[in-house]
């Protein structure tokens, strides 16, 4: 099957996106997807601002939902046959399934030949690999999930990056109902972490951010307490958290702000035996300074998680399907721009007009 796809090329920092058309041939061994909606993730902003490098030209965008656009022999992650017209989401990375990371280390997201959608130079066999386009081709080793009919595109679109990263991180560090958590950062990951922890039985979920508007959103998504460092010092937040925990300090810290003060603050706020999960530093040279004496004397576990294990995507999708009537996930997506206005969309996203700005071709 031959189609003409519309794509946007990122050529480098300070250069406007170029929207162009290219012919694509798909066979039944491929999964050709018509992109319904894609959102601008914080990682896309890091790339466009030059905070982290990218090989160009590249089609950005990895938070995507779409519809299968041609017959395929491939199957879903749960073994179902896939049909033209199926609404789907898929893992942000494709893995080989045979290397040491895939087989022995339970880290398929760090596969030796891992491919990451929306991050690759647009050349050779990686054409149509980003979401800011009319179509995308899904390669072997991608975990594909059909979307439940009830879950809308807006509810679904950030699942395959933001939510699944949170779910996999929290599954990795381990959860315990009744605990107290403190989340550093009320961006998309922090908001998802708040509602996920509440649904997992966390008694107190405190969210810390300097953006008062985002703290209000966090309250609608399960935060039991919010703290703004513009109003309260680190020591005052520490005192407040200790009052909530009989003087112990928080059990779980989640760093999703990407600010280098995040881990030092969380190490301060955690109690003895506390666990600290960090997902936020997806750019290089995020140097931090902590009093490691606290890590030792409080027996703190510090754990980083990058990308995610593809099985967590199924769990994340189930979470949204089950809780979508309790949390207004769709409202986390702000304005939707046509692909032809991608440059304006990125300006809005940079200005943090909303937690997510969407693009639809
Ligand atoms: Zn992302
Ligand atoms: Zn592998």
Q: Quick one: pLDDT at residue 125? A: 65
For the residues of 13-36, what is the DSSP string, one character each?
TTSPPEEEEEEEE--TTSEEEEEE
Q: Quick one: pLDDT at residue 1? A: 82
pLDDT band at 213 (very low <50, low <70, confident <90, very high): very high
Cα–Cα distance, 216 to 184 (Å, whole number): 15
pLDDT band at 315 (very low <50, low <70, confident <90, very high): very high
**What proportion of the chain, given as a percentage, has pLDDT over 70?**
99
User: What is the rounded average pLDDT for all residues in the chain?
Assistant: 95
pLDDT band at 122 (very low <50, low <70, confident <90, very high): confident
| CA of 102 relative to ligand 2 center, distance in Å | 4
Report the pLDDT averaged over residues 354-361.
Answer: 94
Q: Quick one: pLDDT at residue 54? A: 87
| CA of 30 relative to ligand 2 center, distance in Å | 19
| CA of 104 relative to ligand 1 center, distance in Å | 26
> What is the separation, in whole angstroms, between the first and last Cα of the chain?
20
How do residues 126-175 score in pLDDT, each as one tens digit? 678 999 999 999 999 999 999 999 999 999 999 999 999 999 999 999 99
pLDDT band at 123 (very low <50, low <70, confident <90, very high): confident
| CA of 63 relative to ligand 1 center, distance in Å | 6
pLDDT band at 25 (very low <50, low <70, confident <90, very high): confident
**What proportion of the chain, given as a percentage, has pLDDT over 90?**
90
| CA of 81 relative to ligand 1 center, distance in Å | 28
Predicted confidence (pLDDT) at residue 333 exceeds the cutoff of 70? yes
Cα–Cα distance, 227 to 241 (Å, whole number): 10
Tokens 């996920």 sit on residue: 196
Structure tokens at 235: 């020591």
| CA of 40 relative to ligand 1 center, distance in Å | 8
How do residues 51-84 score in pLDDT, each as one tens digit? 888 889 999 999 999 999 999 999 999 999 999 9
Q: Considering every ligand atom shown, identify the ligand nearest to the alpha carbon of residue 189 and give its number.
A: 1
Q: Quick one: pLDDT at residue 126? A: 65
Cα–Cα distance, 89 to 81 (Å, whole number): 15
Closest CA relative to residue 38, chosen from 337, 329, 279, 282:
337
**Domains of the chain as residue ranges with CATH:** 2-150+324-360 (3.90.180.10), 163-304 (3.40.50.720)
| CA of 61 relative to ligand 1 center, distance in Å | 8
| CA of 359 relative to ligand 2 center, distance in Å | 31
Q: Considering every ligand atom shown, identify the ligand nearest to the alpha carbon of residue 62 and give its number.
A: 1
Q: Quick one: pLDDT at residue 53? A: 86
How do residues 182-202 score in pLDDT, each as one tens digit? 999 999 999 999 999 999 999
Cα–Cα distance, 192 to 160 (Å, whole number): 12
How do residues 221-272 score in pLDDT, each as one tens digit? 999 999 999 999 999 999 999 999 999 999 999 999 999 999 999 999 999 9
| CA of 220 relative to ligand 1 center, distance in Å | 23
* 2 or 256, higher pLDDT: 256
Going from the C-alpha of 239 to that of each of 58, 110, 135, 218, the distances in angstroms are 47, 39, 52, 21
The neighbour count for residue 114, using CB atoms within 10 Å, is 18
The neighbour count for residue 289, using CB atoms within 10 Å, is 9
């Amino acid at each position: 099957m031959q189609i003409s796809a519309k794509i946007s090329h990122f050529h480098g920092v300070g250069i406007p996106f170029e929207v162009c058309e290219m012919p694509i041939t798909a066979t039944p061994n491929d999964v050709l997807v018509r992109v319904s909606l894609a959102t601008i993730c914080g990682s896309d902003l890091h790339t466009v601002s030059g905070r982290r490098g990218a090989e160009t030209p590249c089609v950005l965008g990895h938070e995507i939902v779409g519809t299968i656009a041609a017959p395929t022999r491939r199957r879903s992650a749960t073994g179902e046959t896939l049909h033209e017209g199926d609404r789907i989401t898929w893992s942000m990375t494709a893995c080989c399934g045979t290397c040491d990371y895939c087989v022995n280390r339970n880290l398929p997201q760090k596969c030796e030949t891992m491919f990451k959608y929306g991050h690759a130079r647009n050349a050779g066999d990686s054409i149509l690999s980003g979401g800011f386009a009319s179509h995308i081709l899904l390669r072997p080793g991608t975990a594909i999930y059909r979307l439940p009919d009830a879950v809308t595109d807006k509810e679904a679109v950030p699942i395959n990056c933001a939510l699944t990263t949170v779910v996999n991180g929290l599954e990795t560090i381990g959860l315990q109902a009744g605990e107290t958590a403190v989340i550093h950062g009320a961006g998309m990951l922090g908001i998802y972490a708040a509602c996920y922890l509440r649904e997992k039985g966390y008694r107190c979920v405190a969210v810390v951010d300097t953006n008062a508007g985002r703290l209000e959103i966090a309250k609608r998504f399960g935060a039991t307490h919010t703290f703004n460092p513009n109003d309260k010092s680190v020591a005052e937040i520490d005192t407040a958290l200790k009052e909530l925990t009989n003087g112990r300090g928080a059990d779980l810290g989640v760093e999703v702000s990407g600010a280098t003060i995040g881990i030092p603050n969380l190490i301060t706020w955690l109690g003895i035996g506390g666990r600290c999960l960090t997902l936020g530093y997806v750019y290089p040279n995020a140097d931090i300074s902590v009093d490691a004496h606290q890590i030792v004397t409080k027996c703190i576990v510090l754990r980083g998680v990058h990308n995610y294990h593809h099985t967590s995507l199924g769990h994340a999708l189930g979470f949204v399907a089950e809780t979508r009537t309790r949390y207004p996930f769709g409202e986390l997506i702000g304005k939707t721009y046509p692909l032809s206005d991608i440059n304006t969309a990125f300006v809005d996203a940079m200005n943090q007009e909303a937690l997510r700005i969407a693009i639809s071709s």
